[in-house]
Amino acid sequence: MMPSTENNRYIVQVYVGALSALYEALSVEASKQTTSEEIVSCIVERLSLNENASYELAEVIGDDFGQECKERSLSAHESPVQLMMLWPKNRPDHTSYRFYLREKVNDYVWRDQFVMDPQLIKDYFHRFLYQPKDREYPDLCQLPDLNEQTLLDNLRARFVAGHIYTYVGSILIALNPFKFYPIYNPKYVKLYQNRRLGPNLPPHIFAVADTAYHCMLKDRKNQCIVISGESGSGKTESTNFLLHHLTALSQKGSHGSGVEQTILSAGPVLEAFGNAKTAHNNNSR
Ligand SMILES: Nc1ncnc2c1ncn2[C@@H]1O[C@H](COP(=O)(O)OP(=O)(O)OP(=O)(O)O)[C@@H](O)[C@H]1O
């Protein structure tokens, strides 16, 4: 059982079809009141399994060598979460307690390995198997269990490790560190130039500038970068970093160009008219 996510919500892990052979489980969020029938229909829907077939959850208690010792079918109204709570926490004998989804043929016969969409299995592998195991994901879209808690935990873990940037697909989340990180120097400008041609790099504000710049060249259309956040969250700093990278790109490698200085110098002039002190920012504009 995974730790409870928020008030009375738990993650039930269910081993399904071909995936279970690889010891990969599907995670379903449930409460103590959720029945096994509800979890089964949730998985059937999520995996687009054959709706005409009959499926059931089985509780399997196995040993370290993958040899199943005991198994029992859950009745439709049994609560898997309540059952999980009865599983012993410390298991010195290394027994494992698991739920499996099975296709029920009749009251006595079931099938573990039923037909699943091959593309779905492939997607599943990409999403779950090829993940770093340390639970720190540079893109929130890669989170196996995406909910508010895991999202915040991931952002926190990255922030603590000094990674202030995280992607959500093509969106970049920037957490204000309120201290300087040496990640904006010419070495980084160079690293994130034309990064489409290079290896996958960690999330960075320069990558956003680089994408916008190359989309502009490719599509020959104006590009727009939306920067949003509460007062003091780092919008102005982010804008400066974007300009820094964009001007470096347009100068084809010569940094600190005159164009950048001209644009950045406009800041203090605008500030002189629209500067204010807010609860979170002494220098709000
Ligand atoms: N990437 C960063 N690295 C280090 N410090 C940062 C970064 N982003 C922001 N800061 C710090 O946070 C302060 C506030 O940031 P900034 O002025 O950019 O916020 P803002 O979102 O523009 O606020 P407002 O909406 O009130 O104008 C900066 O003066 C700077 O000290």
- Examine domains 10-129 and 140-274 and report if their fold is the same: no
258 is in an annotated binding site: no
Predicted confidence pLDDT, tens digits, the chain (285 residues): 444 444 577 888 888 875 555 556 777 878 888 899 998 888 888 777 777 788 889 898 876 565 657 888 899 999 999 999 998 877 666 678 889 888 877 666 655 655 566 666 555 555 554 444 456 788 888 777 778 888 898 899 899 989 999 999 889 999 999 999 999 998 888 888 876 544 467 899 999 999 999 889 889 999 999 999 998 899 989 998 998 898 888 775 455 556 667 777 777 777 777 666 777 777 766
Q: Is 266 left (phi over 0), alpha (psi -120 to 50) or beta?
A: alpha
d(CA 232, ligand 1 centre) in Å: 5
pLDDT of residue 238: 94
CATH of 140-274, one of 3.40.50.2300, 3.30.420.10, 3.40.850.10, 3.30.70.270: 3.40.850.10
pLDDT of residue 135: 60
Return the CATH class of domain 10-129. Answer: alpha beta
ipTM: 0.97
pLDDT of residue 250: 79
Q: Is the CB of 278 under 6 A from ligand 1?
A: yes
What's this model's pTM, rounded to 2 decimal places? 0.56
Q: Is the CB of 267 under 6 A from ligand 1?
A: no
User: Three-class SS string for the chain?
Assistant: CECCCCCCCEEEEEEEHHHHCCCCEEEEEECCCCCHHHHHHHHHHHCCCCCCCEEEEEEEEECCCCCEEEEEECCCCCCHHHHHHHCCCCCCCCCEEEEEEEEECCCCCEECCCCCCHHHHHHHHHHHHCCCCCCCCCEHHHCCCCCHHHHHHHHHHHHHCCCCEEEECCEEEECCCCCCCCCCCHHHHHHCCCHHHCCCCCCCHHHHHHHHHHHHHHHCCCCCCCCCCCCCCCHHHHHHHHHHHHHHHHCCCCCCCHHHHHHHHHHHHHHHHHCECCCCCCCEC
d(CA 264, ligand 1 centre) in Å: 15
235 is in an annotated binding site: yes
pLDDT of residue 4: 43
Domain locations in the chain as residue ranges: 10-129, 140-274
Cα separation, 283 vs 277, in Å, equals 6
Q: Is the CB of 240 under 6 A from ligand 1?
A: no
pLDDT of residue 223: 93
pLDDT of residue 261: 72
Q: Is the CB of 237 under 6 A from ligand 1?
A: yes
